[in-house]
Protein backbone atom coordinates (compact mmCIF):
# COMPACT_ATOMS: atom_id res chain seq x y z
CA UNK A 1 0.00 0.00 0.00
CA UNK A 2 1.04 3.61 -0.48
CA UNK A 3 2.32 5.70 2.38
CA UNK A 4 0.66 9.03 3.11
CA UNK A 5 3.67 10.78 1.58
CA UNK A 6 3.20 8.86 -1.68
CA UNK A 7 -0.42 9.92 -2.15
CA UNK A 8 -1.12 12.40 -4.93
CA UNK A 9 -4.56 13.37 -3.62
CA UNK A 10 -4.53 16.49 -1.46
CA UNK A 11 -6.14 16.34 1.96
CA UNK A 12 -8.32 19.27 3.01
CA UNK A 13 -9.63 19.42 6.57
CA UNK A 14 -13.40 19.84 6.83
CA UNK A 15 -14.72 21.55 9.96
CA UNK A 16 -15.57 24.77 11.78
CA UNK A 17 -13.74 24.68 15.11
CA UNK A 18 -11.08 27.44 15.07
CA UNK A 19 -8.98 25.69 17.70
CA UNK A 20 -8.91 22.49 15.69
CA UNK A 21 -8.23 24.37 12.46
CA UNK A 22 -5.29 26.11 14.13
CA UNK A 23 -3.87 22.76 15.24
CA UNK A 24 -4.39 21.21 11.81
CA UNK A 25 -2.79 24.20 10.11
CA UNK A 26 0.50 22.99 11.63
CA UNK A 27 0.15 19.60 9.93
CA UNK A 28 1.98 19.59 6.57
CA UNK A 29 -0.37 16.87 5.29
CA UNK A 30 -3.31 19.31 5.40
CA UNK A 31 -3.24 21.42 2.25
CA UNK A 32 -6.52 23.28 2.56
CA UNK A 33 -9.68 23.77 4.60
CA UNK A 34 -13.42 23.65 3.92
CA UNK A 35 -16.51 24.31 5.96
CA UNK A 36 -20.26 24.70 5.47
CA UNK A 37 -23.23 26.22 7.33
CA UNK A 38 -24.14 22.90 8.98
CA UNK A 39 -20.66 22.40 10.41
CA UNK A 40 -20.57 26.04 11.49
CA UNK A 41 -23.91 25.75 13.30
CA UNK A 42 -22.75 22.58 15.07
CA UNK A 43 -19.60 24.40 16.16
CA UNK A 44 -21.67 27.23 17.64
CA UNK A 45 -20.72 29.88 15.06
CA UNK A 46 -23.15 32.80 15.25
CA UNK A 47 -21.30 35.53 13.33
CA UNK A 48 -20.32 34.35 9.85
CA UNK A 49 -17.96 37.20 8.95
CA UNK A 50 -16.15 37.17 12.30
CA UNK A 51 -15.67 33.43 11.96
CA UNK A 52 -14.30 33.79 8.43
CA UNK A 53 -11.95 36.58 9.50
CA UNK A 54 -10.57 34.42 12.30
CA UNK A 55 -10.06 31.42 10.02
CA UNK A 56 -8.30 33.45 7.35
CA UNK A 57 -5.89 34.80 9.95
CA UNK A 58 -5.10 31.21 10.92
CA UNK A 59 -4.89 30.05 7.29
CA UNK A 60 -3.74 33.02 5.18
CA UNK A 61 -2.35 31.15 2.18
CA UNK A 62 -3.81 27.67 1.75
CA UNK A 63 -7.24 27.29 0.05
CA UNK A 64 -10.25 27.91 2.31
CA UNK A 65 -13.84 27.34 1.18
CA UNK A 66 -16.77 29.30 2.61
CA UNK A 67 -20.33 28.61 1.46
CA UNK A 68 -23.09 30.99 0.49
CA UNK A 69 -26.34 30.44 2.37
CA UNK A 70 -28.90 32.35 0.31
CA UNK A 71 -31.45 30.47 -1.78
CA UNK A 72 -32.12 33.03 -4.52
CA UNK A 73 -29.42 33.21 -7.19
CA UNK A 74 -29.22 37.01 -7.07
CA UNK A 75 -28.57 37.00 -3.33
CA UNK A 76 -26.15 34.07 -3.72
CA UNK A 77 -24.20 36.22 -6.18
CA UNK A 78 -24.02 39.14 -3.76
CA UNK A 79 -22.77 36.86 -0.98
CA UNK A 80 -20.29 35.14 -3.29
CA UNK A 81 -18.71 38.40 -4.44
CA UNK A 82 -18.41 39.58 -0.85
CA UNK A 83 -16.83 36.31 0.29
CA UNK A 84 -14.40 36.35 -2.63
CA UNK A 85 -13.19 39.76 -1.47
CA UNK A 86 -12.10 38.34 1.90
CA UNK A 87 -8.89 36.85 0.52
CA UNK A 88 -7.12 35.55 -2.56
CA UNK A 89 -7.16 32.05 -1.06
CA UNK A 90 -10.95 32.02 -0.63
CA UNK A 91 -13.02 29.59 -2.68
CA UNK A 92 -16.72 30.34 -2.65
CA UNK A 93 -18.94 27.29 -2.27
CA UNK A 94 -22.03 27.45 -4.46
CA UNK A 95 -24.55 24.60 -4.14
CA UNK A 96 -25.21 22.90 -7.46
CA UNK A 97 -28.92 23.72 -7.07
CA UNK A 98 -31.00 25.84 -4.74
CA UNK A 99 -33.60 24.28 -2.42
CA UNK A 100 -36.14 24.16 -5.25
CA UNK A 101 -33.81 22.21 -7.55
CA UNK A 102 -32.92 25.14 -9.80
CA UNK A 103 -29.48 24.60 -11.32
CA UNK A 104 -27.08 27.35 -10.27
CA UNK A 105 -25.07 27.06 -13.49
CA UNK A 106 -25.83 30.56 -14.79
CA UNK A 107 -24.52 32.03 -11.54
CA UNK A 108 -21.46 29.77 -11.55
CA UNK A 109 -20.77 30.85 -15.13
CA UNK A 110 -20.87 34.56 -14.23
CA UNK A 111 -18.73 34.14 -11.14
CA UNK A 112 -16.15 31.93 -12.83
CA UNK A 113 -15.94 34.26 -15.83
CA UNK A 114 -15.38 37.18 -13.42
CA UNK A 115 -12.44 35.33 -11.86
CA UNK A 116 -14.15 34.14 -8.68
CA UNK A 117 -12.75 30.79 -7.56
CA UNK A 118 -15.86 28.73 -6.95
CA UNK A 119 -16.34 25.41 -5.23
CA UNK A 120 -19.53 23.93 -6.66
CA UNK A 121 -20.81 21.70 -3.89
CA UNK A 122 -23.37 18.98 -3.15
CA UNK A 123 -22.96 17.33 -6.56
CA UNK A 124 -23.87 13.64 -6.68
CA UNK A 125 -24.64 12.77 -10.29
CA UNK A 126 -22.40 12.73 -13.34
CA UNK A 127 -24.97 14.82 -15.18
CA UNK A 128 -24.38 17.52 -12.60
CA UNK A 129 -20.60 17.26 -12.96
CA UNK A 130 -20.91 17.60 -16.74
CA UNK A 131 -23.26 20.59 -16.43
CA UNK A 132 -20.90 22.31 -14.00
CA UNK A 133 -17.85 21.64 -16.19
CA UNK A 134 -19.67 23.25 -19.10
CA UNK A 135 -20.13 26.57 -17.27
CA UNK A 136 -16.70 26.91 -15.66
CA UNK A 137 -14.37 29.44 -17.23
CA UNK A 138 -11.35 27.54 -18.59
CA UNK A 139 -8.89 30.06 -17.17
CA UNK A 140 -10.26 30.30 -13.62
CA UNK A 141 -9.35 27.76 -10.91
CA UNK A 142 -12.35 25.95 -9.44
CA UNK A 143 -13.35 22.98 -7.34
CA UNK A 144 -16.21 20.57 -8.00
CA UNK A 145 -17.29 18.71 -4.85
CA UNK A 146 -18.94 15.35 -5.40
CA UNK A 147 -20.37 13.84 -2.23
CA UNK A 148 -19.00 10.33 -2.65
CA UNK A 149 -19.85 9.39 0.92
CA UNK A 150 -23.52 10.16 0.42
CA UNK A 151 -23.47 8.28 -2.88
CA UNK A 152 -22.18 5.27 -0.92
CA UNK A 153 -24.90 5.80 1.69
CA UNK A 154 -27.44 5.25 -1.08
CA UNK A 155 -26.02 1.77 -1.76
CA UNK A 156 -24.11 2.83 -4.88
CA UNK A 157 -20.40 2.32 -5.43
CA UNK A 158 -18.88 5.81 -5.71
CA UNK A 159 -15.59 4.64 -7.25
CA UNK A 160 -16.71 4.37 -10.91
CA UNK A 161 -18.70 7.58 -10.55
CA UNK A 162 -15.70 9.47 -9.20
CA UNK A 163 -13.40 8.01 -11.84
CA UNK A 164 -15.76 9.22 -14.56
CA UNK A 165 -16.02 12.64 -12.89
CA UNK A 166 -12.23 12.92 -13.11
CA UNK A 167 -12.46 12.20 -16.83
CA UNK A 168 -15.23 14.76 -17.36
CA UNK A 169 -13.21 17.50 -15.67
CA UNK A 170 -10.26 16.91 -17.97
CA UNK A 171 -12.01 19.41 -20.26
CA UNK A 172 -11.37 22.05 -17.56
CA UNK A 173 -7.67 21.67 -16.59
CA UNK A 174 -7.94 24.28 -13.84
CA UNK A 175 -10.89 22.55 -12.21
CA UNK A 176 -10.17 20.15 -9.35
CA UNK A 177 -12.44 17.29 -8.27
CA UNK A 178 -13.11 16.95 -4.55
CA UNK A 179 -14.11 13.62 -2.99
CA UNK A 180 -16.46 15.03 -0.35
CA UNK A 181 -18.11 13.46 2.71
CA UNK A 182 -15.79 10.47 3.15
CA UNK A 183 -16.99 7.81 5.56
CA UNK A 184 -13.68 6.14 6.48
CA UNK A 185 -9.95 6.65 6.20
CA UNK A 186 -9.76 4.13 3.35
CA UNK A 187 -11.62 6.67 1.21
CA UNK A 188 -8.43 8.74 1.06
CA UNK A 189 -6.77 5.85 -0.77
CA UNK A 190 -9.90 5.34 -2.92
CA UNK A 191 -9.81 9.00 -3.94
CA UNK A 192 -6.13 8.75 -4.80
CA UNK A 193 -6.63 5.56 -6.81
CA UNK A 194 -9.24 7.09 -9.13
CA UNK A 195 -7.30 10.31 -9.63
CA UNK A 196 -9.31 12.71 -7.46
CA UNK A 197 -7.38 15.90 -6.86
CA UNK A 198 -8.66 16.58 -3.33
CA UNK A 199 -10.50 14.83 -0.51
CA UNK A 200 -12.14 16.72 2.35
CA UNK A 201 -11.70 14.93 5.66
CA UNK A 202 -13.34 15.56 9.03
CA UNK A 203 -11.46 15.49 12.32
CA UNK A 204 -12.69 12.05 13.39
CA UNK A 205 -11.15 10.51 10.28
CA UNK A 206 -8.00 12.64 10.44
CA UNK A 207 -7.37 11.21 13.91
CA UNK A 208 -6.86 7.82 12.26
CA UNK A 209 -4.00 8.94 10.01
CA UNK A 210 -1.51 7.52 12.50
CA UNK A 211 -2.94 4.06 11.82
CA UNK A 212 -1.95 4.05 8.15
CA UNK A 213 0.33 1.08 7.51
CA UNK A 214 0.01 -0.18 11.08
CA UNK A 215 1.10 -3.78 11.65
CA UNK A 216 -2.13 -5.80 11.75
CA UNK A 217 -0.85 -8.42 14.19
CA UNK A 218 0.06 -5.63 16.60
CA UNK A 219 -3.32 -3.99 15.98
CA UNK A 220 -5.05 -7.31 16.75
CA UNK A 221 -3.13 -7.64 20.02
CA UNK A 222 -4.00 -4.10 21.04
CA UNK A 223 -7.67 -4.83 20.36
CA UNK A 224 -7.63 -7.96 22.52
CA UNK A 225 -5.95 -6.01 25.31
CA UNK A 226 -8.59 -3.31 25.04
CA UNK A 227 -11.42 -5.83 25.42
CA UNK A 228 -9.68 -7.43 28.40
CA UNK A 229 -8.94 -4.08 30.08
CA UNK A 230 -12.49 -2.80 29.64
CA UNK A 231 -14.02 -6.01 30.95
CA UNK A 232 -11.80 -5.83 34.05
CA UNK A 233 -12.58 -2.15 34.57
CA UNK A 234 -16.30 -2.86 34.35
CA UNK A 235 -15.99 -5.59 36.98
CA UNK A 236 -17.76 -8.20 34.87
CA UNK A 237 -18.11 -11.60 36.51
CA UNK A 238 -19.68 -14.88 35.41
CA UNK A 239 -20.33 -17.66 37.89
CA UNK A 240 -18.97 -20.74 36.15
CA UNK A 241 -21.19 -23.81 36.54
CA UNK A 242 -19.65 -26.15 33.97
CA UNK A 243 -16.20 -27.70 33.88
CA UNK A 244 -13.75 -26.87 31.12
CA UNK A 245 -13.79 -29.54 28.41
CA UNK A 246 -10.82 -31.91 28.24
CA UNK A 247 -8.64 -31.74 25.13
Instruction: Please indicate whether residue 232 is annotated as part of the active site.
Output: no
CA distances from 71 to 32, 94, 103, 166, 192 (A): 26, 10, 11, 28, 34
C-alpha dihedral sign at 160, 165, 168, 174: negative
Question: Helix 73-84 and helix 105-113: axis angle, to 10°?
Answer: 30
Asked whether 18 and 35 are in contact (CB, 8 A), the reply is no
Q: Which residues fall within 8 angstroms of residue 8, CB to CB, at 6 or more apart?
A: 192, 195
Q: Residues 93, 174, 208, 243: which is the catalytic one?
A: 93
- The β-bridge partners of 103 are 97
* Residues assigned a catalytic role: 93
Amino acid sequence: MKTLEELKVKIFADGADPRLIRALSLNPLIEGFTTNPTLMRKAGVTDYESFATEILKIVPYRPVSFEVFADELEEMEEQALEMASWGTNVNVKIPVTNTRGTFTGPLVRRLSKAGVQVNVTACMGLDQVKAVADVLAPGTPAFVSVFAGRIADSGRDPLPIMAEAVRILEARPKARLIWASPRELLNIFHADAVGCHVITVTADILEKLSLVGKDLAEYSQETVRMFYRDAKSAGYHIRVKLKVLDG
